[in-house]
Amino acid sequence: MADLLNLLRRVVEAVTSARDLKLSLQRLVNMVRNGMQVDACTVFLWDSSVERYVLMATDGLRDDAIGKVTLTKNEGMIGLVGKREEPLNLANSNLHPNYHHVPSVGEEEFHGLLAVPIIHNRKLLGVLSVQRFKAERFRDEEEAFLVTLSAQLAGIIAHAEATGTLSGMNLMGGQAGNDIRFAGVACASGVAIGQAYVVTPTISLDSVRYSKAKNIGEELRRFAAAITGLRKELADTRERLKGELRPEELALFDVYAGILDDQAVGGTVQEKIRAGESALSALADTMRGYVQHFEDMDDAYLRERASDMRDLGQRLLTHLMEEKSERKIPDGCILVGQDISATVFGSLDPEKIGGIVCAQGSANSHLAILARALNIPTVLGAQDIPWQELDGNELVVDGYRGHVYYHLTDERREYFEDLVRDEKVRVSGLDALADLPGETADGEHIDLMINTGLQTDIIRSQASGADGVGLFRTEIPFMMLGRFPSEEEQAKIYRNQLEAFHPRSVTMRTLDIGGDKSLEYFPIVEDNPFLGWRGLRVTLDHPEIFIVQVRAMLRASFGLNNLRIMLPMVTSVGEVEDSLALIHRAVYELNEEGVKVEVPEVGVMIEVPSAVYLVKEFMSMVEFVSVGSNDLTQYLLAVDRNNPRVADIYDSMHPAVLKALKIIVSAGLEKNVPVSVCGELAGDPLGAVTLLGLGYRNLSMSSANLLRVKAVLRQIDSGWAETVANGLLNLDDPKVIRSTLQLALQKTGVPLTSLGLLPSR
Ligand code: PEP
Ligand code: MG
């Protein structure tokens, strides 16, 4: 088994560093045939353009069958495995009723067959098989190995397929058409066309895949700069440790510097770049080779040096990533990355960003929330997108459908340009609603509030005619700084908000960090951050942070008295008691200092299941509650709000969430405590109608959605919404719930375009 594990690692490494799909697969079949000691190893991939399996690589069957032999969906053992999506382990495949003899592959002599499906994100990519002349079943451990290998390869093949498609080839070796499309999660609606600007994070040596150099001279320059950077880092470290290390230990730094020379790593990488490989891919491939070389050594001491090589490679990679391209961020660019944090995004000028695309993330990641607030069309979780290779290319972000286009035909470009124009007209049509009240057609008033965080939100929200701020995410200004802001600095920021909206109320949430919101200067590293040290848990453990923040809020509200304080991620009564005690202490201290402030209204966010069950207890302690539907959905459904793999099952219109929302609003009526919703559900027109029907009369959302929601609410009656919402509570599927509501709205004459569900044509 150890041998098979070793083989698995080697195959995955070899395939990762291969330069194209065909070469990857050929390496794979060669290595598997030798490593498993089988008589043939073959890969068939499904080519949807011709609706057939294509023999892509083989070691053992006839070479001239590669790229030529194809099978239909139902043909042979391959078809059977693909259809069943299960492994097949047969002692004598020739006797199986599905056996299909293809004369041109030369498999008459084989009997034993083990074939496993290759599946990526529920999609069948192909079938991997091994065969032996001998008529006997494969051992269990061999079957386990092939299944594991296929699971690992699926991601690599999906990527290689995407990259191969990008270079213009389809599986049959012909030219693929234009309009290459990648699917992700639609996170902020709208369409953007612009030049890709890739934001590169630190990535691991093992995750770098083969990519071509766009400009060999530029790649050589970047690599040389990275070498210089690392040499300097090594020299600085050596200098710093001079007094602490023995001379022979210090000499190691010279050895490392030597490895970077042109005679070693430097030369090999440059050679690869000159042959057309990107600096990133050449460097990673070379360093992996060095690591492997050391790992294979007999001498235990030398074997251990493999980890030094890995460390050196990783550092060099970091320098290379930091070595920014000299290109300036272009106007209206499409920001592209593997995973762009809200902090990195905050450091860029939002006016320059036309759209956002990431391989990771999902509709409720904080990046998505910021993007929606700024009205930037965004697609996250486009897992297969070769993001590293897109810099400088023209992309289209279709934030309605969650698609990203590359290689546009003129026809497609025209279509999207028209959409962008139509969208502008539609949005400007909504401006007229800003001065009209947020009320239903039958005159029921709904407070339409906005969620803020960015400085620019103040200006944007003025134009939306909001009734106040329902959620000020105070962690956003904390993220923009390189350190904790002082009480004075915070007071200034808060005063700005309170003054801008006075006399309307501003609900300020105490610092909500942890989960996917980290402060660079206060890192929280945990295995399970969403269930870890988050929100109120952090600030109650650090009362000094909590008190300073509350003092700053109170001082900012002096003379205005439109402040409300809200507590995030509350799970138990004790946390509310402790928070209230701290808030009272801050008021007392300020009064002692001569700043005569009063205890403001305090509220609790309902974001976790325990808070739903304790909502009445909380209502006896505070003045209001607000539902954080983003987290409530995440925790009720046990679905990570950031993970694109489960994005399909993250839905705030899930019946369990709707039932919880009903419990909360009913408790509010019973206890006479105001209840609002400040999660993204409130800014989704379908969500807002549902909330209205459930009994909510206070919704807080990003300013970009406010007029759209107002437009829909003004077209319907509250009684109608109540009847529809009660009906929705009896349905058990979120998709059916959405379409039922959509249909009901359409029947009353509300156009789909005003729901933000479809582009306006
Ligand atoms: C929520 O969870 O719904 C919420 C409003 O808070 P955040 O999105 O900032 O976690
Ligand atoms: Mg939350």
Q: Does position 755 have pLDDT exceeding 70, yes or no?
A: no
With respect to residue 638, please indicate whether it lies within any of the assigned structural domains: yes
Is any atom of ligand 1 closer than 6 Å to the C-beta of 449?
Answer: no
Are 108 and 185 in the same domain? Answer: no
Q: How far is the CA of 568 from the centre of ligand 2 (A)?
A: 7
**Is residue 293 among the annotated active site residues?**
no
Has residue 381 been placed in a domain? yes
Query: CATH number for the domain including 50?
Result: 3.30.450.40
Amino acid type, 300: A
Among residues 278, 300, 324, which one ends one of the domains? 324
List, for residues 472-488, the tens digit of each pLDDT value. Answer: 999 988 887 768 999 99
Task: Output the pTM of the full model.
Answer: 0.69
Does residue 417 lie in a domain region?
no
> Is residue 394 situated within a structural domain?
yes
Report the alpha-carbon angle 483-487-493, nearest 5: 85
760 in a domain, yes or no?
no
Last residue of a domain, one of 109, 144, 166: 166
Q: Is it the case that residue 442 has pLDDT exceeding 90?
A: yes
Check whether residue 381 and residue 448 sit in a common domain: no
Does residue 190 sit in the same domain as residue 228? no
Residue whose CA is at the smallest distance from ligand 1 atom 6? 628
Do 627 and 732 reside in the same domain of the chain? yes
Tokens linked to 477:
């200004």
- Statement to judge: residues 317 and 335 lie in one domain: no
If one counts the domains in the chain, the total is 4
CA of 757 to the centre of ligand 2 (A): 24
677 neighbors 691 (Cβ within 8 angstroms): yes
How does pLDDT run across 704-731, given as a tens digit for each residue?
889 989 999 999 999 999 999 999 999 9
Q: Which residue, 306, 324, 342, sits at the end of a domain?
A: 324
399 and 350 in one domain? yes
Distance of alpha carbon 181 from alpha carbon 735, whole angstroms: 24
Residues 191 and 221 in one domain: no
Q: Is there a domain that residue 430 lies in?
A: no
Residue 300 C-alpha to ligand 2 middle, in angstroms?
50
**CATH label of the domain that carries residue 341:** 3.50.30.10
Task: Identify which ligand lies nearest to the alpha carbon of 473.
Answer: 1
Do 720 and 671 share a structural domain? yes
Mind listing the pLDDT tens digit for each residue in 91-147?
A: 998 888 888 888 777 788 899 999 999 988 778 999 999 999 999 999 988 998 898
User: Does 606 map to a domain?
Assistant: yes
Q: Verify whether residue 678 is a known catalytic residue.
A: yes
Any idea what the CATH number is for the domain that residue 234 is in?
A: 1.10.274.10
DSSP string, 482-528: SSPPPHHHHHHHHHHHHHHHTTS-EEEEP---BTTB-BTTB----SS
Is the minimum distance from the CB of 651 to ligand 1 under 6 angstroms?
no
CB of residue 607 inside a 6 A radius of ligand 1? yes
Of 41, 333, 358, 678, which one is the catalytic site residue?
678
What integer is the mean pLDDT of 262-289? Answer: 89
> Ligand 1 centre from 723 Cα, in Å?
28
Residue 139 lies in a domain: yes
Domain residues for 39? 2-166
Confidence of residue 161 (pLDDT cuts 50, 70, 90): low
Residues 376 and 474 in one domain: no
In this model, does residue 446 exceed pLDDT 90?
A: yes
- Band (pLDDT 50/70/90 cuts) for residue 186 is confident
Question: Rounded distance, CA 56 to CA 44, Å?
Answer: 5
Integer Cα distance of 312 and 318 in angstroms: 10
Residue 589 CA, ligand 2 centroid: distance in Å: 30
What is the model's pLDDT at position 463? 77
Can you tell me the distance from the alpha carbon of 272 to that of 208, in angstroms, rounded to the nearest whole number? 15
For residue 632, what is the domain's CATH number?
3.20.20.60
Q: Answer with the residue of higher pLDDT: 246 or 449.
A: 449
Ligand 1 atom with the smallest distance to the CA of 630 is 3
Query: 84 and 217: one domain?
Result: no
209/302 same-domain check: yes
Q: Ligand 1 pocket test: which of 365, 634, 678 has the largest number of ligand atoms within 8 Å of its C-beta?
A: 678
Pair 508, 642 in one domain: yes
Among residues 111, 319, 366, 654, the one annotated as catalytic is 366
